Structure formats: C-alpha cells, structure tokens
Amino acid sequence: QDRFPGIGRAATPAEVKAWDIDVRPDFQGLPKGSGSVAKGMEVWEGKCASCHGVFGESNEVFNPLVGGTTDEDIKTGRVANLKRTDYPGRTTLMKVPTVSTLWDYINRAMPWDAPKSLSTEEVYAVTAYMLNLGGIVPDNFVLSDANIAQVQQRMPNRNGMTTAHALWPGGELKGTTKPDVAATACMSNCKVEAKVTSLLPDHARNAHGNLAEQNRLVGAQRGTETTRPPGA
Amino acid sequence: QDRFPGIGRAATPAEVKAWDIDVRPDFQGLPKGSGSVAKGMEVWEGKCASCHGVFGESNEVFNPLVGGTTDEDIKTGRVANLKRTDYPGRTTLMKVPTVSTLWDYINRAMPWDAPKSLSTEEVYAVTAYMLNLGGIVPDNFVLSDANIAQVQQRMPNRNGMTTAHALWPGGELKGTTKPDVAATACMSNCKVEAKVTSLLPDHARNAHGNLAEQNRLVGAQRGTETTRPPGA
Amino acid sequence: VATAGMARAATPGDGDPAILELPEHSRGLGQPVVTDGYGKPSKWEANVQRRQSPGLTQTRQASVSFAPLQSLFGIVTPSGLHFERHHQGWWDIDPSRHRLMVNGLVKTPRVFTMDEIMRLPSVSRFHFIECGANTGMEWGNVAVPTCQYTHGMLSCSEFTGVPLITLLELAGADLNKGRFVLAEGADGSSMTRTIPMSLVRSGEVLVAYGQNGEMLRPENGYPLRLVVPGVQGVSWVKYLRRLELGDQPWGTKDEAVHYVDLLPDGTHRQYTSIQECKSVVTTPSGGQVLLDKGFYSISGLAWSGRGKVKRVDVSVDGGRNWRTARLQDPVMSKCLTRFNIDWVWDGKPAIIQSRAMDDTGYVQPSLRQLREVRGTRSIYHNNAVQSWLVQESGEVKNVQVS
Amino acid sequence: VATAGMARAATPGDGDPAILELPEHSRGLGQPVVTDGYGKPSKWEANVQRRQSPGLTQTRQASVSFAPLQSLFGIVTPSGLHFERHHQGWWDIDPSRHRLMVNGLVKTPRVFTMDEIMRLPSVSRFHFIECGANTGMEWGNVAVPTCQYTHGMLSCSEFTGVPLITLLELAGADLNKGRFVLAEGADGSSMTRTIPMSLVRSGEVLVAYGQNGEMLRPENGYPLRLVVPGVQGVSWVKYLRRLELGDQPWGTKDEAVHYVDLLPDGTHRQYTSIQECKSVVTTPSGGQVLLDKGFYSISGLAWSGRGKVKRVDVSVDGGRNWRTARLQDPVMSKCLTRFNIDWVWDGKPAIIQSRAMDDTGYVQPSLRQLREVRGTRSIYHNNAVQSWLVQESGEVKNVQVS
Ligand code: HEC
Ligand code: HEC
Ligand SMILES: [Ca+2]
Ligand SMILES: [Ca+2]
Ligand SMILES: [Ca+2]
Ligand SMILES: [Ca+2]
Ligand SMILES: [Ca+2]
Ligand SMILES: [Ca+2]
Ligand SMILES: [Co+2]
Ligand SMILES: [Co+2]
C-alpha cells in the first residue's frame, strides 16, 4: 500500500459476491439452496439436452457426460471401467471425483452459449438430474447445500485420484519430488531395435489436407504433395 | 565445399557481369566509355529534370543536387560553405568527395522510377552534365574512363572527409579506438542547470496529429489531446 | 500461393535468367512507407498458418489451433501464429472496462483497473507455453502427419506483466494460511485453475498484459492473462478477472475431469502441472520432402518446465547412436531453446530423433520408457522422443519406433 | 477507436458496474479458433501504429516510418511495428527466384538459391537495429513531440540466418587481401554499403532470412537481408543480392553523401558505423499525460553498438541527481535492454532522463557534452540523453535542458 500509493482500491461486498462464485471440494463458496431431480429434468430438457443428448449421451458437441459407471463403483468410489483398455470412452461421471466440480462448472459455464444464466435452484436441480442419470441419487432426490456432502460419498470415482506424482511444483499436495520416468542418455550402440512400429496408412495421407500447402515455398525442404500417392 | 556438399554453385562470367556493377573510388568496376556534357544535358532534361529541376536545384522530391560550391573549393578540395552554420542547405555536390560515387549511384539507382535503364554513355554524359552545372568541368567536356581520375582532382569536397573517429569497428581505416565524447556518470548534485532550453511552441502542438490517437487507450498514461490548447 | 517446385540455381549455360534478366524490383520504384501502419507477412508466406486438426474437436469454440512449428525459426513465436486453445470462444475485451479482483485470504479484497496494473513495476520474460495435451494424440499410435499437429500446441513469447506476488502483497495476503491461488477468467468458461504457491512466491507467476512487445492478442487473453512458467497452458488463465488466495486446491472442472492423467491401473493423476523436459526436430520433419542428398542442418526446439535445457542429443539412426547438438544462446529458464546439428544425407532411409536433458538432470524419455510407467491412455504430458523417418524418396514421415 | 477517458475503478457505492453487471463476454459464447490463420492485434490497440513524421521527407518511397516505442513492452518489436526506411520503395520478392552472389576476392564467385542458404547451419540472435539518423532531428532543437518520432527508428528482433563468414569460406575467400565486404541489395536503389571485416570475421554479421520466428517482412528485406549487429541500419542491406570481398572501401552514395557526419570545422566523418551507447525513457514520455499523482514505474530502453548495457541511471530532476535502474534479463550484446525504476510523482514539474553505460565503460553523453565535440549539424549519431518534462497538468513534453 505504502509502496504503491494510488493503485487499486478495496472491493465492495457486492462486487466480491458478484464474482467470487467458485465452489471448492469442501463446499466453501456453495450458496444455500436446493433443487430436485424432477426440476432438473425440466432444466435439462429445456437447456442442455440439445447439445448433450436427452440422457447426456451425445457426442455431437462434446464427449458424453453420463454412462460407464455402476452401482459397484458407487460403493467403491473407483470406476472399474477406467481400468479397461477396451472401454470406448470416458464420460464426465466416470472421471469426476468431486460433486462440487459439477456444481461449480455448471454454474459458471453452462449452458455453453448462455453461461451464468441459471438460477441457483436450477444449478442444484440439473446437477441432481445428472447424478440421477448416473444412478447416484434416486428419482425423488432433492439436492441441497445440506445433503451435498453425503452425495459426495457416493461419487463413483471419488477415490480415483492421486497426487502422488512429481508434476506439482511445491509440497502442498504431498507428491513426490522424483520424476516417475527415469531415462538415461545412452550415446552409442544403444539397445533399441529402431524398427518402425507405427505410421499413418497411405490412405490417410491427405486427411490433414495437402501438406504441400502447409509448408513454406522455399527452404531446405518442401511440403509433401499429399493429393498424389507416395512416389508419384 | 567439403563441409557443405550440394550447396551453391560457381557463378558464370555473364552472371557476374550482370550484377557486379559497383564502381569504387579507385575506379575498379568502371566500364570503358564516355559521354559529353552536351549529351548529358539532353539526358538530364529528358530523364532527370522533372524531379531534380533543370539546374539540379529543385527540392520537390529530394534535396538540391547542385549549388553551394565555388571555384575556390575546386582548388582546395574543401567546400567552404560547409563551415558556415548560416548556409541554408547542403547539396550533393557540396558533400560528395568522390566522382565514382556519382557515377556508381546514377548507374544503379537513377532515374528513381526506372533505375538501371541508362546506357553507359548516358551515365557518363549525365554525370558530366552534373559536374558541369557545378562548374567542375567545362561546357565542351567529354567525361570518360580515361579522364575521370583527373576530374576527381577537381571535386570540390575531395579533401572534406575524415576517418579519424572511433565509429568504424576495426583498424582498416586507421581511425581512433577512443570515443570522441567522454562523459562521466555523476550521481548526485551534478553541475547542471536543469533549465529548459528548447521545447515545441504551443502552436506546433498538433503538427504531428492528435497525440491522443497515437497512444494506447489504457495504461499509466494517455496521449495528449493536442487538438485542444494546453490545460483545456 | 499454394505449392512451388524446387528452386535451384538453373544449370548455367550463359547463366540463370533470374540473374541475367534483372527482376522488375531492380528496375522500378517500390511501394511507399506505411502502406500498413501494422504490417503483414509476405504474400509468399501464406502457407505459414495456424491450423485445426480435422476431427479433433466437435466444435470450433471449444477447440485448438496449432502453430506451424515446421516453418518457424529461433525461439520467438510470431503472435499471429501463437497456438489457440479456447473453451468457450475468444473475445476482444474493452480494456478500459476490464477489472481484476484479488480476494480470499487477504486483509482487504481489492479491485484494479488496467491503468493501475500497468502502473506497477513490471518484468518481461521469455517463456514457452505448452498445452498439457500437446502430443496427446500420439500416446497410442501415430495419429497426425506433421509437427504442426504433433507438437504445435507450443509457443514462446516475451511476456510482460506484474509479478502476482506484488498484487497479493498489495491486498495484504496471508502468506502462511494461503497455500494455493485460484485464477479465474472473464470469458464464458470463466476458466478456473489452482496455481502453485511456490511459483507465486518465487515471483515467477506474472499477471501479464504484454506479449512480444505489444499487448496480448485477443485469442491469447487480451487484456490480461496469467503466466505460469513451466506449467501447462490451461493454467495460464486468459481474460483474467480474479485471483483468490486459499488454503485448499479447488478441484475445478479442468482439474478433476480434464487435465488429469489416466494411469494403467485406472487411477488419474490430479494437479499434474509441470511440462517436463521435451524436444522435437522441426527441420526436417513429418510431411516434408528433402529436395536433394547432401548437407542439412537439423534444427529443433527443446524446453523444460523445470528450468533450463542443458543438452540436446540427436540421432539419425532411430536411437542407436547420438551426437550432441549446438544450443543457441540465450538458453533461458522455462523457455524454448533452439538446437542445430550438421547432417549429410546420403539418400538412404534415416530415422531422426532428438532427446533433451534439463538442468535437474532429467532426460527426455523414449515412448517406450514413458509407456512402461504411464501406459498409453494419459492423454496429457506426452513428452516422449519424437521420431521422423526420412525415406529414400526424401519424404519425411511421422513414425514410432521400437 | 480513437481516444478514451481515464478508466478508474468507479467510486464504489454498491460497486463498479463493470463488475456488478457481468459483461457480455462472461455470459456468451465467443469466436471460434482460426478466425484468422494469421492473427491480428485487438481492435482496441488501433492507436499503436508506425507513423511518418510530417514534412520529414519529400516522397513516401524515400522515407521512413517510426516505431511506436511509447506503447511497446520488453525488448522485442512486433514485426508489424518494425520501423521502415526505404530509399526506393519496398517490394514483396518471390523467394524462389531470389539469388545471392558472392564475388570479389574469392576463389570462385558463387551463386546461392534461398533453398541452399536455408540449408546451411544458422544462428538466431536478438539484436537491435537503429537508423544512423535516429534522433537526428534533435541535434539543434526540439523538433518532434513524442519518442515515436525522436527515437522510433529503432527496433529489436530475433534474427535467424547464416554467418556471412560461412558463405565467404564456401566461395574460397582470400581473407588476407579481403579487408572489406560490399553488400548490395536487389531493389531499385540497390543499396550498397561497405561492411566492416572485423564483424564478419567474428561471425556476428549474418545473412538473415528469419525475424522473430518467421521470415523477414517485405518492408524489412524479404527474403534476405544483412544483419550487422551494432552498426547503423543502412548497412543491414535489404533484398540482399550480392556480397563482394575487396581490399578497399567503396565510398557509395550512402557512405559519401549521406550517413556522413558534419563536424563544426566543415569536415565530414566518413564510414561512421557504430551506434554508440544510448537510452530513452519510453514510459512516461513526450506527448503523454499522467492520469494522477502517485506511483509510477519509469521504463525505457538502453542499447549499445559496442556490446552489452552495463548500467542505466535515471534522473527525475533534469540531471542533478540519479538513481540506478533495474535491468531486465537477459542483457544481450548489441541488443535492446529494458530498464525500470520506481517513482512516486508528487504532482510537481519533473524532468525525466536516462543515461546508459556499456561494458566498454562508455557513458551516454548529455546533449551539451555531445555538442561540445560535434556541434549541432551532424544529422547522424545523436545518442544524447533525452529529457522529458512532466508538467503539473500531467502533460509530458519533449525538452532540451542546460
Ligand atoms: C450449446 C451447447 C451446449 C449446451 C446448451 C449445454 N452444454 Fe454443456 N457443454 C458443451 C460443450 C461444448 C462442453 C465442453 C466445454 C469445454 O470444452 O470446456 C460442455 C461441457 C459440459 C460439462 C463438462 C463436461 C466435461 O467432461 O468437461 C457439463 C457438466 C455440462 N456441459 C453440463 C451442461 C448442462 C447442465 C447444461 C444445461 C444447463 C449444458 N451443459 C448445456 C455444450 C453445451
Ligand atoms: C522520379 C523522380 C526522379 C528522377 C526522374 C530522377 N531522380 Fe535522382 N533522385 C530522386 C530521389 C527521390 C532521390 C533520393 C533517393 C534516396 O533517398 O536514396 C534521388 C537521388 C539522386 C542522386 C543522389 C543525391 C543525393 O544527395 O543522395 C543523384 C546524383 C541523382 N538522383 C541523379 C539523378 C539523375 C542523373 C537522374 C536522371 C538520369 C535522376 N536523378 C532522375 C528522384 C529522381
Ligand atoms: Ca487509483
Ligand atoms: Ca471463493
Ligand atoms: Ca545444389
Ligand atoms: Ca565489383
Ligand atoms: Ca464427434
Ligand atoms: Ca520539401
Ligand atoms: Co483446456
Ligand atoms: Co538510408
């Protein structure tokens, strides 16, 4: 303050209220209120389903939000399908560990083309509806600030996260400091096959457009004429 | 060559001839040929006078080329007017020490809108004409590769240059290594008056346009509204 | 302007017409100054553009465009070619109406105008920004043809701004209780990310308005974005409107549903932030054709989210043998470093790779080494060695090798 | 977009409407990626343009446009704002038809295509370029109002190219006899300048094609220009077509008629090349108005054609007392260096100056010191300390002081 006279001013309570909308996993920031699954279905069908599908299953404008979780997951707090390499997609409900995340995000960013237009009740309701689609809360459920912590205890992937890694700078998350992958810099006669194991099939040659048009017209090399087959 | 196989190739004699057009003060590079003052007047009036004036005196598209030199200057090789602080302008002939410079530049760059269009004879001729306008060669003179070195001995400012300074990096020009201006970094109670000795008059306030429109719309300061008088 | 053939000096008889017949620009008068008060690249450079990868995203407002690394020199990314990543589209915000709020564990929550922020002491630093999902399409298999698409969610600029710590101190921050900072944007997505306090405390995190000498571009957050050196781009919150000091991480959508790294056992790593040491050869690279045998200067980029690049090795035989490349000065922390190495191509197939090492001693892993620990489904943080196959035809292809 | 009033956080009753009423960008969907394959600055930045100085030149093809230093941050000049100096207009040359010839005291004169030049080992270096005539209007009196016009023939970029010495060696140069190099352009003026061999030999002179990560802009010599670090801009020949090694200097038009410095005794200094140590405060600077009393960060640029900037001192009392400013890393040789220093303006008249010192120990002179040696008619190489008068109204004016 003394060092920088005249710079900045105190925010008013109304200003902080207008902008401080975040909701944390411990529900700090969550406004009082509630909303039912039934009301949520209304909101969903009116304001969400056009993009996400009636059951949150659409991949037209984004990945499916719902699907891939089981009653068993709700018990264990680990989504079993995440272990399967043959499982086709990863829905929002499969991944999200914290119900606060859904509430916060819907409240700040959805509907995509009219963010921050929902009432608090609508956010509770449509969150409840999404949870209901995932079998996490029953059809007659009313989600509220009072019971949301219990709902958290049913999130299918609530135990699915770890911070035991070296990719957070600092000790706050009690991660590791040693990177998980430890390569060494072999310089000669290194033990590799140097065989090609993957490359694009020739028929996909032009899938990103004509690469000749994606490179400079002079220089040590040109872009490949991908409208023509290799070698032509 | 060995380090960079496949890069570059020898230039042909015709290629070198096409591009190696520079003429040095020792006349290396000067093609054989000649041109008369009379022919030069023709060239000048046809191809130069529209921009530089009939006597090279115009300042419409560039500074005057001719003027300000005297017979005395031709003798001394020093243009006396360059010493005068009250002399209004500095023409090309007042400054140029080397006749090669004129020949080379006219040959490469003039006429301004059709550079490299003159024949060798035309360049000799129009150079002769310019020299004649400056009284350096007589009306009946024919400038040629054979006599240009003698003409050099009459250039009004031929002795007007020095390389005795520290602004050439390297020893080739036998300059100095010590900079000519030696300031020191006084830090407090330095002996200066700190009185304003020059500033723009208020009537010139808007001469560079409205400065408010020449500064960003945010930041620690704005541009001055110079369409309004100071303090208004 | 589309494609052009190879320009060699013509076989000289008398000589090359491009020399013997003087071009019109040697014989005429060119264009005046200030044809453009703000200039543009040459028309011959029209192929150098940022581009989308077809089919990668379902919408163009929650999408990405890739920088054309194959055509860039040095370390600075021209701001017009800076990669884009939007979650709810970009805006061109009136800076005179933009505000920044600092709240949370502070004595008094505060509001700043742009005028005020730009009055504070600023720093200017060169840093790379890389999306956490860069090279993400390549965890399993080769998916895209050129380094624009494999590595183009990467750019590097000189950023100018105010250290975030200055603003926190101005607001009377409680730096004992305050262990995390939330950064929040003003666009539709109002992107929120939890920012590591260690980088705030070190003075590295900037509230930036300048990029490469001018203001940030609208696509990159004009008028204000957070700069979090070494950390993935999603944390560099654009259209920054608010910073909150708190005692817990926020678990926001992009910390709990995306930008989480799936391990083989079905666990996700959360709050993975650092972009580890990585490199890529950009010249020559996938989708190009070498014009001839002979001398080439292999050139590429290396970077590390943990500090400075210490060394880059290059292999032209798929990783059997390596030589150490020249690093271009200045080598700066959490900044791109350009490397170069000589190569004479004999016309035989070759597999070109680069491997960087940073000043912590960390060595960029091969894809095999990376997969052994993380599997193939992480999406994020693929920093494996990239391989380019030069075929006898001169064609260069994106490949993975064993 | 023209001018705008001062944006302060409104006196809060309930609060600032810019906060309380969420802006449309917080409530809507923005624009998609790749609206521009090559992006542009914000529409709110339209005032940041390069400009001519009215009446300075008689034509617009033999003219100059000035970079808006008052609006720039850090050290990189955005290429679109790079100052222009043309002698016969600018061109956008087809690079596939451009050739470079090396001749003179070489074993075999050689010709290179752009393809070939771009195959050679390159370096990328940050350097300033300053016209020898920068600040030339101010030798006698104050002539122009803002630092755009006093100092705007100055820019700084990351240049990429091949050391000229590499090309000379390729041609089999005789480096004993060869004591000077002629550089020649391909435009109408076919600009020719004699280049110092010492800088060629040291590897500093580059045959450059890259600028700030992309190709040179047409206004700056696309596709090839010489980079002669520390030396005045006219030697950085644009549209470079030919390099000749010789044993004598060339005395070209721009070495014998212009870019010669008139001394009081009527002698001209010839081949004055180095841009000596210099600095200028850009924020605040002439033609601006401070919005308020209080804290400011005085910021500016310093540079030296002889090496690195070692120190910059700043005075706010017209040169009586000085404080040493902070230098922004990286400090590079023959490159702009950004400096900053804190200042609390008490609302009284103040005269702001900066004075740079380089690593040779050379100190930037005051105008008086410079004039004592060189008089007032040199035109070129005015590197005097610049003074800005802050008036009580907040208006800043270009002044000279005793
Ligand atoms: C106009 C299209 C549209 C509408 C309407 C819409 N969404 Fe979305 N939604 C999207 C898109 C696109 C995304 C992905 C945004 C991104 O990439 O950050 C998204 C993301 C989400 C996500 C996060 C999913 C994830 O895995 O990241 C949730 C939850 C969500 N929407 C819920 C809703 C709800 C609830 C509504 C209605 C109240 C709604 N959406 C309306 C398009 C829409
Ligand atoms: C269309 C206008 C035009 C025409 C025609 C023209 N000039 Fe010029 N000339 C100029 C301009 C403009 C310059 C300054 C160029 C620069 O700034 O580098 C100039 C410069 C010169 C100079 C150098 C002067 C100096 O001090 O730098 C000479 C000598 C000259 N012209 C001679 C000629 C001759 C001889 C011809 C005819 C054969 C000619 N000019 C035709 C416009 C013209
Ligand atoms: Ca204030
Ligand atoms: Ca909060
Ligand atoms: Ca060749
Ligand atoms: Ca020659
Ligand atoms: Ca799809
Ligand atoms: Ca005039
Ligand atoms: Co993202
Ligand atoms: Co010039």
Of B124, B136, B148, B47, nearest to B92 by C-alpha is: B136
> Which pLDDT value is given to residue D1?
33
Hey, are the CB atoms on C34 and D52 less than 8 Å from each other?
yes
The CATH classification of domain A16-152, taken from the options 3.40.50.2000, 3.90.78.10, 1.10.760.10, 1.20.1260.10: 1.10.760.10
ipTM of the modeled complex: 0.97
| CATH 3.90.420.10 location in chain D | 86-269
Q: Minimum-distance ligand to the CA of A16?
A: 4
pLDDT at C10 over 70: no
- The contact set of C with B (CB < 8 A) is 9, 12-16, 19-20, 22, 26-29, 95-96, 113-115, 118-119, 215, 223, 292-295, 342, 344
Confidence of residue A3 (pLDDT cuts 50, 70, 90): confident
Hey, are the CB atoms on B169 and D273 less than 8 Å from each other?
yes
Topology of domain C278-399 in CATH is: Immunoglobulin-like (2.60.40)
Hey, are the CB atoms on C91 and D64 less than 8 Å from each other?
no
Residue of chain C whose Cα is closest to the Cα of D3: C96
Task: Please state, in angstroms and as integers, the Cα–Cα distance from residue B10 to each residue in A22, B1, D226, following that order.
Answer: 70, 11, 22
Chain B residues within 8 A of D145 when measuring between CB atoms: 200, 204-205, 207-208, 211, 226
DSSP state of D320: S
Q: Minimum-distance ligand to the CA of D245?
A: 6
Hey, are the CB atoms on D292 and A6 less than 8 Å from each other?
yes
Nearest ligand 2 atom to the CA of B130 is 35
Among the partner-chain residues D96, D293, D342, the one whose CB lies closest to the CB of A6 is D293
Q: For B120-149, how does the pLDDT look when each residue is reduced to its tens digit (9 = 90+)? A: 999 999 999 999 999 999 999 999 999 999
Neighbours of chain C (3+ CB pairs under 8 A): A, B, D
**D218 shares contact with chain C (CB less than 8 Å):** yes
Q: For A176-200, how does the pLDDT look when each residue is reduced to its tens digit (9 = 90+)? A: 999 999 999 999 999 999 999 999 9
Hey, are the CB atoms on A10 and D223 less than 8 Å from each other?
no
Q: Which of residues 14-43 of B touch D (CB under 8 A)?
A: 15-16, 19-22, 24-26, 28
Average pLDDT over residues B200-216: 96
Q: How far is Cα of residue C45 from the mean position of the Cα atoms in its chain? A: 21
Rounded distance, CA D35 to CA C7, Å?
33
Q: Ligand 3 center to residue B82 CA distance, Å?
A: 55
Average pLDDT over residues C371-388: 98
Residue of chain C whose Cα is closest to the Cα of B3: C295
pLDDT at D9 over 80: no
| CATH 2.60.40.650 location in chain D | 278-399
Among the partner-chain residues C9, C20, C96, the one whose CB lies closest to the CB of B217 is C96
What does the block give as tokens for C178? 């305050």
Q: Which of residues 144-163 of B touch D (CB under 8 A)?
A: 157, 160-163
A211 three-state secondary structure: helix
> Which pLDDT value is given to residue B1?
46
Between residues A107 and C9, the one the model is more confident about? A107
Topology of domain C86-269 in CATH is: Sulfite Oxidase; Chain A, domain 2 (3.90.420)
Average pLDDT over residues C375-390: 98
Confidence of residue B88 (pLDDT cuts 50, 70, 90): confident
Q: Determine the distance in angstroms separating the CA of B90 from the nearest CA of chain D, rounded to an integer.
A: 10
pLDDT at D81 over 90: yes
Mean pLDDT, chain B, as a whole number? 96
Chain C residues within 8 A of A76 when measuring between CB atoms: none
Residue A47 CB–ligand 1 contact under 6 Å:
yes
Average pLDDT over residues D28-50: 98
C191 three-state secondary structure: coil
Which residues make beta-bridge pairs with D289? Answer: B222, D395
**D92 shares contact with chain C (CB less than 8 Å):** yes
Average pLDDT over residues C11-38: 94
Residue whose CA lies nearest to ligand 2 atom number 6: B111
Radius of gyration of chain C (CA): 23
- Strands annotated E in C116-153: 123-130
> Which pLDDT value is given to residue B5?
85
Q: For C114-157, how does the pLDDT look when each residue is reduced to its tens digit (9 = 90+)? A: 999 999 999 999 999 999 999 999 999 999 999 999 999 999 99
**A9 shares contact with chain D (CB less than 8 Å):** yes
pLDDT at D28 over 50: yes
Q: What's the length of chain A?
A: 232
Residue A56 CB–ligand 1 contact under 6 Å:
no
Average pLDDT over residues D318-337: 98
pLDDT at C8 over 70: no
**C321 shares contact with chain D (CB less than 8 Å):** no
Topology of domain B13-152 in CATH is: Cytochrome Bc1 Complex; Chain D, domain 2 (1.10.760)
Domain definitions of chain B by residue range? 13-152
pLDDT at A232 over 80: no
Return phi, psi of residue B2, to 5°: -70, -35
**B220 shares contact with chain D (CB less than 8 Å):** yes
Radius of gyration of chain B (CA): 25
Residue tagged 């140097």 (tokens): A194
Q: For A42-57, how does the pLDDT look when each residue is reduced to its tens digit (9 = 90+)? A: 999 999 999 999 999 9
> Which pLDDT value is given to residue A114?
98
Confirm if D279 and D302 have CB atoms less than 8 A apart. Answer: yes
Q: Ligand 8 center to residue D52 CA distance, Å?
A: 15
Rounded distance, CA C122 to CA C210, Å?
10
Q: Counting one residue from B and one from D, how many pairs have CB atoms under 8 Å apart?
A: 348
Among the partner-chain residues D42, D95, D190, the one whose CB lies closest to the CB of C218 is D42
DSSP string covering B156-195, please? TTTT-EE--SS-SSSSTT---SS-S-------SS-S----
Rounded distance, CA D291 to CA D296, Å?
11
Among A62, A94, A98, the mutation site with the greatest number of ligand 1 atoms within 8 A of its Cβ is A62
